[in-house]
């Protein structure tokens, strides 16, 4: 008997590979994707991915999409209130597990687990402590196709915005940059992979700087 689980979905490679991992696990059945969306810009928070493209990802995965609308700017208190409201929805639907694609940041994991304390919801981390050099190579070899949609120019050159997440990219990353961008160096949007029923066609749009980050737009075709 499988356990229903919701997946926290960023639109990027880590959450996509988490979905793929859960799809191979006979203990779990992913029953939905959960994403936070900046309501002012109608884009995935931090990743800058258009809401329309986000919906195409959910359709390609064959899963319902649950979006949490975040105000802009959004305080931590507001975020936690909105998240707790969704936790109540999970409880009402007898869902007791939520998965995250975090890799090794202890403080982020501790924060997520603290959020779930006393709710009856268990946080699950399928990719936890997989070495990121290995994980990045496994994603690429496994068929992940992704584009860098957000770069923190304080950690990585803005020239990487819009590039494909592939072996050439890994070869070009500076040694101090995590190959999965786990320290916030970059964020991605997945357009194809084994977790999807079909690929998503996109066109590259403009590159802009906003709020001290560099965003490369992806346009759904």
Q: What percent of the chain stands above pLDDT 70?
A: 100
Confidence of residue 104 (pLDDT cuts 50, 70, 90): very high
Which residues have a Cβ under 8 Å from the Cβ of 25 and sit 6 or more positions away?
Answer: 126
Residue 192: what pLDDT? 98
Residue 45: what pLDDT? 85
Residue 37: what pLDDT? 95
The per-residue pLDDT of the chain, averaged, comes to 96
Radius of gyration of the chain from Cα atoms?
A: 17
Condensed to tens digits (0 to 9), the pLDDT of residues 131-162 reads 999 999 999 999 999 999 999 999 999 999 99
Closest CA to 213 of 155, 169, 165: 155
Residue 193 sits at φ, ψ, to 5 deg, of 160, 175
Residue 138 sits at φ, ψ, to 5 deg, of -65, -40
* Domains, in order of start, for the chain: 3-220 (3.40.50.620)
Query: Where are the alpha helices (H) located in the chain, listed in sequence order?
Result: 13-23, 51-61, 76-92, 106-116, 132-141, 167-172
Condensed to tens digits (0 to 9), the pLDDT of residues 112-124 reads 999 999 999 999 9
Contact 210, 46 (CB under 8 A): no
- The least confident of 20-29, 33-42, 94-103, 181-190 is 33-42
């Amino acid at each position: 008997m499988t356990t229903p689980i919701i997946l926290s979905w960023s639109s990027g490679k880590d959450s996509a590979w988490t979905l793929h991992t859960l799809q191979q696990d006979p203990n779990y059945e992913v029953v939905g994707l959960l994403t936070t969306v900046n309501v002012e810009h109608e884009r995935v928070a931090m990743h800058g991915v258009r809401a329309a493209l986000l919906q195409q990802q959910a359709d390609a995965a064959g899963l319902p999409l649950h979006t949490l609308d975040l105000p802009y700017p959004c305080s931590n208190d507001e975020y936690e209130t909105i998240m707790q409201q969704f936790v109540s929805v999970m409880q009402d639907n007898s869902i007791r597990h939520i998965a995250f694609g975090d890799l090794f940041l202890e403080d982020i994991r501790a924060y997520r687990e603290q959020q779930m304390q006393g709710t009856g919801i268990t946080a699950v981390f399928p990719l936890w402590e997989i070495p990121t050099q290995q994980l990045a190579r496994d994603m690429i070899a496994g068929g992940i196709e992704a584009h860098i949609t957000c770069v923190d120019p304080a950690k990585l050159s803005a020239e990487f915005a819009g590039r494909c997440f592939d072996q050439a990219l890994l070869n070009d990353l500076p040694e101090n940059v995590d190959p999965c961008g786990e320290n916030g160096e970059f964020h991605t949007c997945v357009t194809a992979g084994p977790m999807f029923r079909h690929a998503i066609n996109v066109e590259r749009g403009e590159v802009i700087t906003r709020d001290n980050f560099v965003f490369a737009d992806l346009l759904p075709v």
